[in-house]
Amino acid sequence: MSKPDGSWINWFVNLQANEFLCRVPYEYARDKFNLTGLETMVSNFQDTLDAILDSEFNTEYGFEDGETHPEKAEQLYGLIHARYILTRRGIADMCVKYQRGDFGICPRIYCNGQVVLPLGLTDRIGESHVKVYCPRCQDIYQPNARCALLDGAMFGCSFPHMFFMQLPHLLPEPPSEKYTPRIYGFKLHKLALMPPSAELPAGSDYPTANSPKKELASANAKPVDSNRLTKRRYNFSLD
C-alpha cells in the first residue's frame, strides 16, 4: 500500500467514516487512460483532479476559495477508487483490509463471523449508499453505521466478484446450517410459514384467498371445511 503524506487523498482516506476506502496511488490517478469518461461525470473535472492530487493540503482550512468544492472532490476520488480496486494492485490493497476485518462481519448467525466486502448497488454516483457482501451466504447487508453514508459507486457493482475471481482461495464454504422454525421443539409445516395471501406450492389441494374458484362438479359437492384447512395449515391433524 502507498505511504501516507500531506495530500488531500491521504487526509480523506484516513477519516474514520472512510475506513472502507483504500489509498489510490498518484501514478494511477494521473494516468489519463484510467480517467477516461470521468470528465463528463464530474463538473470542473481538471481543477478538481488537480486539487485532490495536490501534495500539500490544509487539513484545518480545507480547499481555498474557488479551488474546488469538497463534494466534487469526494465524487471524483470515489469514481477513480472504484476503477482502481478492480486492478491487481487495488485488489491486493483491499485484500489487506478484508483480512484485517476493516469492512466488518456478516450479521447472519450461521455465517459464523464471516468477513465481508463493500459493494455498490449501482455504478452511478449519488444513487445509493454502500452495502456489504458476504461471500459465505452470498447476500448483502447494511454496513456498520460509521461507514454507511459512503456512496456505493465508490466501490461499484463488480468489486466483490472480481476480488474472488482473482483470489479464489479466499472463497469460504457455504453455510452448513440453516435456521429451522419450531414450536415446542416441533418443526413447522411449510404452509404455516406462508402468509394467507400467498400462493401454495404447485400440486397443493389447499386453496388460499387468491386461488381461483373452481366450479362445483355437481350440486351435491361438499363445501371445504375451513376449520380443517386452518388446522392442517399449522400442521395439526383432526384424524
Indicate the angle between helix axes 45-52 and 70-84, nearest 10 degrees: 80
Q: What's the pLDDT at 223?
A: 56
Q: What's the pLDDT at 110?
A: 96
Question: Residue 237 pLDDT more than 90?
Answer: no
Distance CA 75, CA 126 (A): 9
Query: What are the pLDDT digits (tens) for 164-215?
Result: 999 999 999 999 999 999 999 999 988 888 888 776 656 555 555 555 554 4
Q: What's the pLDDT at 221?
A: 52
Contact 159, 122 (CB under 8 A): no
Question: Residue 238 pLDDT more than 60?
Answer: no
CA angle 131, 135, 137 (to 5 degrees): 95
Q: Determine if the pTM surpasses 0.85.
A: no
In sequence order, the 6+-apart residues with CB closer than 8 A to the CB of 159 are 82, 85, 86, 94, 117, 118, 119, 120
Distance CA 197, CA 194 (A): 8
Query: What are the pLDDT digits (tens) for 104-154?
Result: 999 999 999 999 999 999 999 999 999 999 999 999 999 998 899 999 999
Query: Which three three-digit cell numbers place residue 156?
Result: 461499484
* Percent of the chain topping pLDDT 90: 57
